[in-house]
């Protein structure tokens, strides 16, 4: 199977390249192709003629999207459309990485794939717009929503917590936002399986289990053997440019339909820390 990954230098892209060994995989980063350029994308697709395209390229700075709306739209929606149109020309299948931030966070039970979307921030809005356009161009595309992605090789929540904990005796972390941490190697393996199973439609994919950011941070610090005290606080004490959903837990039902079972985030976190050189 020939696979082309757009966004290969990102957190997930790096994990995909590390994990994907059994197929002919090509990884393209932003230096290789700017997905905002329809011509660059077309040339790349025609050169590699993939059977599957994994579209992981995105502008993921959630707060940055609020002040760079045009860039967010150009990359997350228009760029995604460029890739999907080019993929359709060579009859390639597509997995597009979307986000829990397409939901408003008003529920108190896991979001199903057919729940109404109502993104509250620019990042979520641009991803939601891309979802809609992709379905029009390539109805058989797989829209893969995930959340709270972490892994080695880039910026992520555990990385930030470990850095802060090395220089602070106390950390205040919000305890009123709940979601599902997702480890990039586990997500990469999900994507590989979905390609092999010919996945179509919308799928929610995260590690099993949910927590608040405070609960996640407390576990990170404890497993890393650090002495920093992690204290719960509320979102109104940490006002950010982008509004985050208070609850964005994604149901695993759609993934289970493909027979894919994913480890819990509590299983994933020690593996991440081991990669970082800690020995939980």
Instruction: Tell me how far apart the alpha carbons of residues 38 and 28 are, in angstroms, rounded to a whole number.
Output: 15
Q: Which residues pair with 183 in a beta bridge?
A: 150
For the annotated catalytic residues, the residue numbers are: 123
Instruction: Tell me how far apart the alpha carbons of residues 40 and 228 are, in angstroms, rounded to a whole number.
Output: 48
The three-state secondary structure class of 180 is coil
Structure-block tokens of residue 11: 């957190």
The three-state secondary structure class of 121 is coil
Instruction: Give Cα separations from 215 to 54, 226, 277 (angstroms).
Output: 31, 15, 22
- Sign of the dihedral through C-alpha 216, 119, 244, 105: negative
**Residue 161 near residue 221, CB atoms below 8 Å:** yes
Query: Which residues, at least 6 apart from 279, have a Cβ–Cβ distance to it below 8 Å?
Result: 273
């Amino acid at each position: 199977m020939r696979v082309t990954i757009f966004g290969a230098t990102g957190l997930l892209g790096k994990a995909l390249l590390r994990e994907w060994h059994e197929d002919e995989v090509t990884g393209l980063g932003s230096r290789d192709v700017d997905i905002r350029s329809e011509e660059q994308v077309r040339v790349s697709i025609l050169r590699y003629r993939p059977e599957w395209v994994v579209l992981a390229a995105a502008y993921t700075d959630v707060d940055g999207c609020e002040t760079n709306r045009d860039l967010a739209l150009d990359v997350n929606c228009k760029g995604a459309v460029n890739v999907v149109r080019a993929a359709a020309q060579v009859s390639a299948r597509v997995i597009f990485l979307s986000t829990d931030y397409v939901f408003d966070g008003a529920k108190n039970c896991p979001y199903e794939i057919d729940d109404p979307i109502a993104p509250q921030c620019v990042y979520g809005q641009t991803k939601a717009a891309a979802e809609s356009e992709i379905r029009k161009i390539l109805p058989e595309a797989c829209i893969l929503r995930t959340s709270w992605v972490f892994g080695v090789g880039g910026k992520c929540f555990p990385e930030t917590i470990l850095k802060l904990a090395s220089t602070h005796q106390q950390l205040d972390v919000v305890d009123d936002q709940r979601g599902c941490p997702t480890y990039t190697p586990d997500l990469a393996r999900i994507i590989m399986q979905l390609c092999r199973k010919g996945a179509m439609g919308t799928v929610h994919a995260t590690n099993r289990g949910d927590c608040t950011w405070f609960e996640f941070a407390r576990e990170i610090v404890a497993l890393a053997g650090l002495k920093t005290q992690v204290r719960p606080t509320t979102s109104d004490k940490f006002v950010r440019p982008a509004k985050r959903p208070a609850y964005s837990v994604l149901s695993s039902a759609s993934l289970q339909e493909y027979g894919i079972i994913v480890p819990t985030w509590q299983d994933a976190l020690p593996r991440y820390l081991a990669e970082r050189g800690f020995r939980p």
